[in-house]
Amino acid sequence: MANDESLIQGASPDIKYSSFSSGKWANASTAVPTEMALTIYIDGTELVTILCTPTKLNCLVLGFLYSEGIISGMSDVASMRVCEEDSLADVKLSKPGYTPPARRTLASGCGGGVSFATEMQKVESQLTVKPEEVFSLMKQLNEKAELYRFSGGVHTSALCNNSEVLVVAEDIGRHNTLDKIVGECLLTKLPTDDKLLLTTGRISSEMLSKAARMRTPIIVSRSSPTDRSISIAQKLGITLIGYVRGNRLSVYSHEERLLPS
């Protein structure tokens, strides 16, 4: 990363604003997250427009297509062109003829998420973790949240093994962070199964759907899960851990993966 913090990708520096404190107004400047609307085209047909942070856009596109079951790997992609200036991604599939489903689900997350996927398979894994490992990984995640520390206003997620963070993504949409992770793993050929997913945002049903598609058996958040995500996690064999703060955590499903200290 460049030493000049104003060059941090995904943030707009020197945004002017007025502040009011202790009965007085003052002029100031700050950095805020950058937001864009990225439209994805499949074989020339518009698929979806995603509100996102303009970082790792190629990963975001690939991860979204994988999460939605449109592709199963890089071999399904004949070509891809991502143009930030024109706010579009043009993807050509190896087997033309894809037709977007008529039904879509608007995701609950910030960033204008949308999902076409409806089927989720149970996650089989022997992965276990100790509470101390969860605390250590969450600390690493917080340390790697560079954009959040610079501008605030974004979510951070990471794919981890039991000891270290492997891939990190930040975005205004928490579901986008998972898609960016998936896309980067597809590009680098890093398996996502038998890993942990960490996130700073709440865990909702679309987050569970993406995690299940990734075959990750443990999801960890410093925030709360929704009741629907807990129900889905119980059915899919996913361990759901929330409210990881300091040396405390809460387990909502499949606590058998948590080993004693």
Are the C-beta atoms of 219 and 199 separated by less than 8 Å?
yes
Are the C-beta atoms of 12 and 32 separated by less than 8 Å?
yes
Are the C-beta atoms of 52 and 172 separated by less than 8 Å?
yes
Q: Is 110 a known active-site residue?
A: yes
Residues 32 and 21: their CA atoms lie apart, in Å, by: 20
Residues 172 and 38: their CA atoms lie apart, in Å, by: 13
Residues 81 and 77: their CA atoms lie apart, in Å, by: 11
**Phi/psi zone of residue 17: left (φ > 0), alpha (ψ -120 to 50 degrees), beta?**
beta
Which one of 52, 59, 83, 110 is the catalytic residue? 110
Q: Is 67 strand, coil or helix?
A: helix
Which sign, positive or negative, has the C-alpha torsion 73, 75, 78, 82? positive
Which pair of tokens denotes residue 28?
């100031």
Residues 221 and 19: their CA atoms lie apart, in Å, by: 32
User: Would you name the residues annotated as active-site residues?
Assistant: 110
